[in-house]
Amino acid sequence: MSRRAMSLLLLPQWSSRVFLVELGGEPVYFSIQEKSRGKEVSRVFRNVQNNDRCYSVLVCGGDRIERAKFYAELKQKLLRELPKECDLSPMSSFLPNVKDSLLKGYFLKDTSPSASLSERVLREFVQHEPVLVCSYLRGEDGQQWTQKCLWKESDNRAVEMSKDFCVVPSEAPEFHPATLNIINSDVFYNFEEACEVLKESADIIPEATSVLELLPSRVEARSKPDFPVIVIEGLDATGKTTLTESLKNALGATLLRSPPQCLSPLRARFDREPPLFRRAFYAVGNYITAEAIGQEGMKTPVIVDRFWHSTAAYAIATAVSGPVCNLPAEGSEVYRWPTDLLQPSLVVLLTLDPEERKRRLRDRGQGETAEEQELDHNQLFRLKVEEAYHRISGPACVTVDASPPADQVLQQVLLLIRGKCHL
């Protein structure tokens, strides 16, 4: 077992952890204690039948690259090996309000007739994979549940932790656990951190080397270029392409996009990768675009089709489960602009009624990314993306209704530009 996993099982730290299980998209929390104090049964176990067995599998070994890669593969590994009667729910474990203490994995409910196959598979996992497995047992009173941990000794035998813990309900923490793990994991706030992930992942993603070859040797925070830089943000089918082309012509501006064209051949590859690698890819795309902005902005105004707001808003909304209120509070450091990334003069966020946006997408007939597909069938995800957009500062977005005809939207945005950028 890795040193990281062994350190987790030191009793004071392990018993201080809180566990989160996503049941139907809603986070349910429980904790553990050495003795039962007569608390009610955690909601995680209320619908578990007498013959069902419950387990958790948490990824805890290896470095951050190995953990990200293994977690991305874990669900398929479990579904492939475990009985078909096993239900999997996303799960995590964390120390409340402690940054970078998050462990991710799955909660398993096995309704198969016999526990032997699940037990054998999970013991094999403990011996050969970077995971910590716990079983959950119903007490003699039929109510109280206990947690028993398994780990791997030096001779590769799976053994049980001698200490059992009672499972009790827990209140939601002050901060959703994912919010304490966002910085330089789901969202990158400086060039070096994003580059480091690509360098570390080059062994498993050869295309990462191609991305690194396109990057500037260094990035420095700088003042804005001579001409204004206007970023147009919004969900797909809100009219960004039409508006940016029209602004380019109306202002005699240079039109740039993020991610930049040079990364287009690699997007599909990184969109298939775990969030850590995918987010680093899009982060460095912003810095490549910023280099072009700095050069072109010395000669003409610059219009940018999406920039850091999109990168951050989608990442934050994906990382934080549950309702909008689980997002980091307005003013949180996760919404701050990276100190080494060129800041635009104005950011316009195009908004559109969801049904009208869907109609435009159907009419357009173009393919969507997985995240755009999620926007279409998951209203909650869309609301979180939109709210994250509004909370990002440095600069904040100015919202513009994109439902009027394109020429009216153009005139409204031109008025904004003339008022704020003096063009």
Q: pLDDT digit string (tens) for 346-372? A: 999 999 887 777 787 777 665 555 666
Nearest CA-CA partner of 93 in 4, 212, 163:
4
- Torsion on CA atoms 305, 233, 220, 218, rounded to nearest 10: -50
Q: How far apart are CA 25 and CA 322, in angstroms?
A: 6
Q: Which residue segment(s) compose the domain that 159 sits in? A: 3-178
Average pLDDT over residues 390-397: 92
Is 107 in contact with 58 (CB distance < 8 Å)?
no
| 100 has pLDDT over 90 | no
170 and 190 assigned to the same domain = no
pLDDT at 191: 94
* The two three-digit tokens of residue 329, written as one number: 């509070």
| 260 has pLDDT over 50 | yes
Phi, psi of 258 (to 5 degrees): -130, 125
Average pLDDT over residues 124-146: 84
| 255 has pLDDT over 90 | yes
130 and 160 assigned to the same domain = yes
Give the model's confidence band at 1: pLDDT under 50 very low, under 70 low, under 90 confident, else very high: very low
136 and 281 assigned to the same domain = no
CA angle 411, 415, 417 (to 5 degrees): 115
Q: How far apart are CA 117 and CA 133, in angstroms?
A: 15
Average pLDDT over residues 393-411: 93
**CA distances for 169 relative to 37, 67, 179, 241, angstroms:** 11, 28, 21, 49
Contact residues for 145 (Cβ-Cβ < 8 A; gap 6+) = 41, 42, 45, 54, 136, 137, 138, 139, 166, 167
> Last residue of a domain, which of 178, 193, 212?
178
Name the domain count of the chain: 2
| 45 has pLDDT over 80 | yes
Nearest CA-CA partner of 326 in 179, 106, 181, 170:
179
Q: pLDDT digit string (tens) for 56-95? A: 999 987 788 999 999 999 999 999 999 898 999 999 999 9
19 and 38 assigned to the same domain = yes
Length of the chain: 423
113 and 187 assigned to the same domain = no
Mean of pLDDT over the chain: 87
Long-range contacts of 363-368 (CB under 8 A, 24+ apart): 364/237, 368/236
197 and 334 assigned to the same domain = yes
Q: How far apart are CA 240 and CA 416, in angstroms?
A: 16
Q: pLDDT digit string (tens) for 181-240? A: 999 999 999 999 999 999 999 999 999 999 999 987 766 656 678 999 999 999 888 889
Q: How far apart are CA 401 and CA 381, in angstroms?
A: 20
266 and 374 assigned to the same domain = yes
203 and 141 assigned to the same domain = no
The larger pLDDT score, comparing residue 175 to residue 230, is at 230
- Predicted structure pTM score: 0.88
- What's 187's DSSP letter? B
Is 384 in contact with 327 (CB distance < 8 Å)?
yes
33 forms bridges with which residues in the sheet?
166
Is 276 in contact with 185 (CB distance < 8 Å)?
yes
341 and 220 assigned to the same domain = yes
> Last residue of a domain, which of 129, 152, 178?
178
pLDDT at 154: 46
Other beta carbons within 10 Å of 163: 14
196 and 171 assigned to the same domain = no
- CATH code at position 224: 3.40.50.300
pLDDT at 13: 77
Give the model's confidence band at 251: pLDDT under 50 very low, under 70 low, under 90 confident, else very high: very high
363 and 319 assigned to the same domain = yes
Residue 84, judged by CB atoms within 10 A of its CB (0-12, 13-18, 19+), counts as exposed
Range name among 2-16, 246-260, 327-341, 402-416 with the lowest pLDDT average: 2-16
DSSP strands (E only) in 95-176: 103-110, 131-138, 145-152, 158-169
16 and 115 assigned to the same domain = yes
Q: How far apart are CA 121 and CA 125, in angstroms?
A: 6
Concatenate the DSSP letters of all residues of 226-277 into one string.
SS-EEEEEESTTSSHHHHHHHHHHHHT-EEEESS-GGGHHHHHHHHTS-HHH
> Last residue of a domain, which of 129, 158, 178?
178
